[in-house]
Structure 1
Amino acid sequence: MCGTESRTQLPLATTAQQGCSCCSPATEKQADAAVVSGTQYALEGLTCGHCVQTVETAVSTVPGVEFAAVDLVPGGTSQLTVTGAANVAALADAVRSSGYVLTGTK
């Protein structure tokens, strides 16, 4: 096998994008644009990706929530974005049951 290439070649992103075609920043920006259309809430107490996953999972189970995403600010005020028609008190309860605090809307 000396001298033979056995790896699968993946297409590269265009020069306007950075990184490979599967995880280029342009793809991430498109996903962020969809998230911003929801209601935004301030969260306290999150420090890592596991915290984010815990809150997103809990909030996603609230009736009326179509989508939930957290923008983590370790040690600061993180942002929870929720789309759908969910009761704010139910969202606060879900966040509290995860061990964190929903401090208000942004």
Structure 2
Amino acid sequence: MSPSEIPDLGLTDNNAGCACCTPRDHTTAAPGVAVTSTDTLAPAAAGAVVADYLIDGMTCSHCVRSVTEELSAIDGVTDVDVQLNAGGTSRVRVASAAPLDDGQVRSAVEEAGYSLAPVS
């Protein structure tokens, strides 16, 4: 079902800018990787490669679920942890068995409806 086919029940703030609730162009931000380290997310992820990514446009738990599902579908990903900054730039930490290709991460984030934020 496309967004235009979803009936408006008057519950969505069309000015909120939420990528999951309102149409928005997410192709303008450049991709960036903030940090790559060997930190672990949880005991189950011991020995994993961990990378942090910055993502623009997430505003709610639905946004977090969408990004988590897409990133978790990448081969080798063992854990995804999102620190939501509603309406701003959120930090997403991804643990994997091996280093991830930034193109795969960018594609997964864009498939969820968001974009990687540039690293300043």
Deviation at residue 38 of structure 1 after TM alignment: 2.0
- Structure-to-structure mapping, 1:84-99, within 5 angstroms: 84=96, 85=98, 86-99=100-113
Count of residue pairs brought into register by the alignment:
74
TM-score, length-scaled by structure 2: 0.55
2:57 corresponds to 1:45: yes
Deviates most, 33-42 or 45-54: 33-42
Unaligned runs of 5+ in 2: 1-38, 43-48
Higher RCO (C-alpha under 8 Å, 6+ residues apart): 2
Of 93, 106, 109, 1:81 maps to 93
Task: Report the RMSD for the aligned CA atoms in angstroms.
Answer: 2.2
1:28-78 deviation line (CA, Å, top 9, x unaligned): xxxxx8428721110000000110010000000011211112110001110
Q: Are the counterparts in 2 of residues 59 and 94 from structure 1 also a CA contact under 8 Å? A: yes
Q: Are the counterparts in 2 of residues 48 and 74 from structure 1 also a CA contact under 8 Å? A: yes
Q: Which amino acid aligns with 2:113?
A: G
Q: Which has the larger radius of gyration?
A: 1
TM-score, length-scaled by structure 1: 0.62
Structure with bigger helix share is 1
